[in-house]
Structures are given as C-alpha cells and as structure tokens.
Amino acid sequence: MNITVSEASADVAIMTLSGRLNATSADQIGAAVRSATDTGRPRIVLDLAAVVFMDSSGLGAVVRALKTARGAGGDLRVARPSPQARLVFELTNMDRVLDFFDDPLTAFEGG
C-alpha cells in the first residue's frame, strides 16, 4: 500500500491510500495520522478511491486513526471509498458510524 499526504487547509490532512489495506499495511496509516496530528493537522481525510483490497485489519486501522484524530481535537472522514472498501464498511455496519464524502478536498467544509 502507498500513502501520499497533502494539505487541504491549515489543519486538514488528506491521505490518499492506494493498493491493499491489510494486516501488512495497516500500521502505515497509524504512523501517517500521528505525524499529521503531531504537526497540527488533526482533521484527517482518508481518500480510499484507489484501495483495491481492504479487510478487518485495515478497518481496525481506520478506527484507530479516527480515535487518534478525535483525541487530538480533530476528526476523520472517509472520501470516495472504492467498492472493495465500501463492502467492508457495509458488512461491519461501520457505514452507519463513518461519514463518506465525494470530494476529499471539501470533506471538512461546513464543519
């Protein structure tokens, strides 16, 4: 899996994930989110459009990232989940908890 991080605004970090999000790659998300919160960007957007595989280990990393972001006074939003990522969110009922957004750049607009 690859993660590229960009800034949408002063306190929002957009993380674009691509490839497989499984037990091997899950820790990368935690490291990227901690780096963002440590540098004053506690509002995190995870862009999952290019995730070709996601399992419960990957989902666990997303939940951990959500808690890290909230713990730092921010939040986490999911943008453009691929069909593979959406399947896991739906089967685990996490689609009722997480907000999905069409555009990573505007996921935090309006609060």
Least distance to another protein from the beta carbon of 74, Å?
16
Q: Examine residue 91 and tell whether it contacts another protein (CB under 8 A).
A: yes
Residue 99, SS3 per DSSP: coil
Give the residue among 62, 64, 93 at the shortest CA–CA distance from 79.
Answer: 62
d(CA 75, CA 18): 21
* Least distance CB 84 / another protein (angstroms): 7
Residue pair 43/12 in contact by the 8 Å Cβ criterion:
yes
For another protein, which stretch binds (CB under 8 A), given 6-14, 39-47, 48-56, 71-79?
48-56
Q: Is residue 66 a contact point for another protein (CB under 8 A)?
A: yes
| Minimum CB–partner distance for residue 10 and another protein (Å) | 27
Q: How many CB atoms lie within 10 A of CB 7?
A: 12
Under rule CB under 8 A, residue 59 binds another protein: yes
105 near another protein, rule: CB under 8 A: no
The 3-class SS string of 52-75 reads EEECHHHHHHHHHHHHHHHHCCCE
Tokens 């399947």 correspond to what residue? 87
Residue 22 binds another protein (CB under 8 A): yes
Which residues here bind another protein, judged by CB under 8 A? 20, 22-24, 53, 55-57, 59-61, 63-64, 66-67, 84, 87-88, 91-94, 96-97
